[in-house]
């Protein structure tokens, strides 16, 4: 992992920030992506550079295919490669499905599903050439249950589609030495979903709980794991 370059989308804050900082401990460098808060992204970059690792910030609206493709191109031009792609960017909207506007539906679906598709499609050629790659998509803990979610309907639909995309790409790219997996967090400290007292583990999840799962899936120890959805929920509603 010492010579690998990682790109974490939506890494200026929250889970994405923690993933980027922890990947910096085991890779050669990390590309930090943001959409609006440049200062927050630069703060993350400073922390990574203090570790003695390569880092740069890149802005892109990943709901737009051209900007997503341009992001991948700029990162590859800067660092020469992308070995690890973590599709963390994914806006959520808590709102009754019948009140969600068409533009809001479009934004949530594009932000959670199409953004990941755009980034992985642009990253795959380089990974195929090197016969090595790790892609991790972020889901949510109940993505495989196909339950009713009246307050986050477009988000749940997008993440379910992302799981299908994850497994489809995993099947087609396994022979190229590329693994594609999903990490699905449950209720996390600082999240916008309501807290629950019904978590068997007895606490809310922490950013590092999710980051550790991502770090495992991009490591050599997980070389034979692909198409997997790793739920990080403390046993919540399993």
The phi-psi region of residue 147 (left if phi > 0; otherwise alpha if psi is between -120 and 50; otherwise beta) is beta
Q: Both tokens of residue 168?
A: 């489809």
List beta partners, residue 54: 29
**DSSP per-residue codes, 9-67:** TT-SSHHHHHHHHHHTTTSSEEEEEESS-HHHHHHHHHHHHHTT-EEEEEE--TTSHHH
CA distance 218 to 89: 18
Pairwise CA distance, residues 123 & 224, whole Å = 20
Q: Is residue 102 exposed (0-12), middle (13-18) or buried (19+ Cβ within 10 Å)?
A: exposed
Residue 155 is a catalytic residue: yes
- 3 state SS of 86: strand
> Would you call 126 helix, strand, or coil by DSSP?
helix
CA nearest neighbour of 22 among 115, 181, 136: 136
Alpha carbon distances (Å) from 176 to 69, 80, 211: 21, 19, 25
- Cβ contact 43:13 at 8 Å: no
Could you give the residue numbers annotated as active site? 155
């Amino acid at each position: 992992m010492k010579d690998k370059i990682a790109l974490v989308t939506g890494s200026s804050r929250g889970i994405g920030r923690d993933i980027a900082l922890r990947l910096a401990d085991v890779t050669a460098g990390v590309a930090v992506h943001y959409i609006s808060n440049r200062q927050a992204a630069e703060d993350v970059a400073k922390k990574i550079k203090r570790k003695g690792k390569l880092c740069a910030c890149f802005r892109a609206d990943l709901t737009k295919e051209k900007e997503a493709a341009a992001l991948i191109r700029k990162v590859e031009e800067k660092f020469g490669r992308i070995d690890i792609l973590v599709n963390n960017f994914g806006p959520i909207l808590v709102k009754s499905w019948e009140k969600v506007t068409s533009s809001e539906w479009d934004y949530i679906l594009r932000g959670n599903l199409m953004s990941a598709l755009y980034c992985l499609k642009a990253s795959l050629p380089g990974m195929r050439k090197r016969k090595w790659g790790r892609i991790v998509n972020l889901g949510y803990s109940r993505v495989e249950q196909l339950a009713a979610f009246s307050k986050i309907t477009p988000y749940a639909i997008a993440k379910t589609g992302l799981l299908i995309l994850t497994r489809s790409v995993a099947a087609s790219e396994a022979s190229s030495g590329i693994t594609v997996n999903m990490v699905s967090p449950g209720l996390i400290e600082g999240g916008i979903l309501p807290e629950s007292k019904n978590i068997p583990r007895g606490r809310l999840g922490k950013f590092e709980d999710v980051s550790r799962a991502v770090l495992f899936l991009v490591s050599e120890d997980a070389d034979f794991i692909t198409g997997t959805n790793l739920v990080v929920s403390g046993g919540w509603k399993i």
